[in-house]
Structure 1
């Protein structure tokens, strides 16, 4: 059975990790093709397994690099004394005996090559393998960084889970595309001018060889251009590095919107890591205003997606008659917009509507024009 194709790789990973982020999966397939990485499926629990010494070579290092510096056994060696070795996530195995024989047989059937007489082989699952690949400063390591750190985060393999208030509620999985669709819908009701999926030709030579880049959405104001980068999971330090350095999003924005300062805003409904916040502070030199970043007059920040939704809801309320507020409230409650809108925003709008009815600003209309005879005074 030939399983060299990345379609087979994709299916194997989906079988073991069905909730894996689709974007990460596509990047993994691309990088496996580009670097000619060889993987073997586990017929018992599915998944993709890589030979760690081969990954050392793919990084441009000695075949023994993983064993000496990153394998579980490396911690107990004399070389580990005086320094703490970082543990890599995922699963790692030292195959011997029957397990090794089965692995060798599958490898030879797949690639038509023998692994020789090795008495033991270290392998790692796809998360462990990519966690290793992103360590270091070789070109190959840099190429894998955007995938690796995301693949090893729990939030990368589990999309945001939102649970309703009913008994035994089902789990709702929501992707970045779904989040963006909801923001687009809210924006359409507002007077705020956001342009979504704005593209530009990629003028940088990058490892992924992308012909163009796209920003999630852009807001052009008279004195500044705001570029938004949306993530469904918690924003990580690597998200910022990958966006600004690997993909050059900030520099591309400066090319497209020349002579204007750029405010680059990372947003997520699931917060930002401490490391990412620290990196933003460093990039901003602890300043609140604009500073020079990669030759661009820019400001980097994080804004909760719910805060952006609050701004949109406030705009809709302020630009529409009070009679339409209940209509908006009903949409926020019933059309899954509550996945991007905070419960506090919904509660606030509900209080505004309730107060309007209480003080008479809003009057409930009769269901029909029929008046009960018992309510009329009839003269004798």
Structure 2
């Protein structure tokens, strides 16, 4: 009896109503494509589990690959485990029940194995999209798409952080510094007469002009191609700044996926052919790295007495653009300044205390 993936999806969502449906849909696609068998799961209370030796073979690996390299027992604690989800080694009555259920659903026997390692749907998905075999790369391609969509959904529906919000924070933060970033730079679009483009921000240095493209979500290959191929931003930069080296920088608080990283490497490898007679480089920098540079500039050019004010502002107003590590560093610097006497805590004023003059007046 073939169990449809609609039942698989329903089983997962019934027990996990907040599960990301994009990833669940990707898993269902993989189950169909690679004929993966699943069993309704009450042990993990999450809807479904898979036999991990079968999942290993679906990736084009040996049946023991998962057990030998990724089973949870191989990691000292949960934090060191690179995969999400859970697995379980079934023996005894649990194994007998698994074999009976599997045969009833799939019409096949699992043999005489004395134990079987199974993984929940999260564990299975995480393992499928990990690795370097061709099958794993196919899984990764789907996985990165699901993760990117999940992140975008989280940004837009949960935190409501979008590019204009990020740019607004970056503009305000940069205004406190001496860093020369110019925002919303308008340029004539010579490829589309009568229209124009706007770069998110530009930094003009003596030897190079840096043009920045800001994304709120994980940077994808599609984002890079849309910017460089469809919009021709590098060609426009070369027109705007003749005889200058151009560095086109993508930035995001949510990182970059591996397809986009590989595509950027290909552009750089072929830069001389793509952009003859010009020095061009494409790169990616985390937005938090850019804001840390701005913050360091503010700190270096302002009195230490103002650093606590800056720390408070970062914690309250710049949470989408500034990393917790940067805030921790600034907090540690302030604490050290107090310890060494560079900063002195102001004496607290007792609102109930009475001044000497007032005491004399009261006594009279």
**Partner in structure 1 of residue 339 of structure 2:** 358
Q: 1:261 aligns with which of 245, 250, 253?
A: 245
Please identify runs of 4+ aligned residues in structure 1 that moved more than 6 A.
149-152, 369-373
Tell me how far apart the structure 2 counterparts of residues 325 and 292 of structure 1 sit (CA, whole Å). Answer: 48
Where 2:327 maps in the other structure, the secondary structure is: helix
Tell me how far apart the structure 1 counterparts of residues 212 and 188 of structure 2 sit (CA, whole Å). Answer: 18
**Partner in structure 2 of residue 200 of structure 1:** 187
Tell me how far apart the structure 1 counterparts of residues 146 and 164 of structure 2 sit (CA, whole Å). Answer: 19
User: Structure 2 length normalisation: TM-score?
Assistant: 0.54
Deviation at 1:294, TM superposition (A): 2.6
Matched, 1:154 2:135: no
Matched, 1:189 2:176: yes
Matched, 1:328 2:310: yes
Matched, 1:241 2:225: yes
Which aligned pairs between 1:1-380 and structure 2 lie closer than 5 A? 154-155=149-150, 158=153, 160=155, 171-205=158-192, 211-285=195-269, 293-295=274-276, 296-335=278-317, 337-368=318-349
Deviation at 1:161, TM superposition (A): 6.9
Deviation at 1:278, TM superposition (A): 0.5
Tell me how far apart the structure 2 counterparts of residues 270 and 152 of structure 1 sit (CA, whole Å). Answer: 11
Which of the two has higher C-alpha Rg? 2
Question: Higher helix proportion, which one?
Answer: 2
Q: Is contact 1:200–1:213 with CA below 8 Å preserved after alignment?
A: yes
Tell me how far apart the structure 1 counterparts of residues 266 and 286 of structure 2 sit (CA, whole Å). Answer: 20
**C-alpha distance 197-151 of structure 1, shift in aligned 2 (>3 A):** farther
Describe the superposition over 1:132-162 as per-residue Cα deviations: whole angstroms up to 9, x where unpaired: xxxxxxxxxxxxxxxxx99995158515279
**C-alpha distance 369-154 of structure 1, shift in aligned 2 (>3 A):** closer
Deviation at 1:367, TM superposition (A): 3.3
**Partner in structure 2 of residue 116 of structure 1:** none
Tell me how far apart the structure 2 counterparts of residues 156 and 270 of structure 1 sit (CA, whole Å). Answer: 8
- Say what the alpha-carbon RMSD is for the aligned residues: 3.2
Where 1:196 maps in the other structure, the secondary structure is: strand
Q: Structure 1: give runs of 5+ residues left out of the alignment.
A: 1-148, 163-170, 374-380
Tell me how far apart the structure 2 counterparts of residues 330 and 222 of structure 1 sit (CA, whole Å). Answer: 35
Where 2:302 maps in the other structure, the secondary structure is: coil
Q: Is contact 1:218–1:225 with CA below 8 Å preserved after alignment?
A: yes
Deviation at 1:368, TM superposition (A): 4.0
**C-alpha distance 329-198 of structure 1, shift in aligned 2 (>3 A):** same
Describe the superposition over 1:66-116 as per-residue Cα deviations: whole angstroms up to 9, x where unpaired: xxxxxxxxxxxxxxxxxxxxxxxxxxxxxxxxxxxxxxxxxxxxxxxxxxx
**C-alpha distance 252-150 of structure 1, shift in aligned 2 (>3 A):** farther
In the comparison of the two structures, how many residue pairs are matched?
A: 213
**C-alpha distance 196-243 of structure 1, shift in aligned 2 (>3 A):** same
Where 2:183 maps in the other structure, the secondary structure is: strand
Q: Structure 2: give runs of 5+ residues left out of the alignment.
A: 1-143, 355-364
Q: Is contact 1:160–1:270 with CA below 8 Å preserved after alignment?
A: no
**Partner in structure 2 of residue 40 of structure 1:** none
Tell me how far apart the structure 2 counterparts of residues 232 and 291 of structure 1 sit (CA, whole Å). Answer: 30
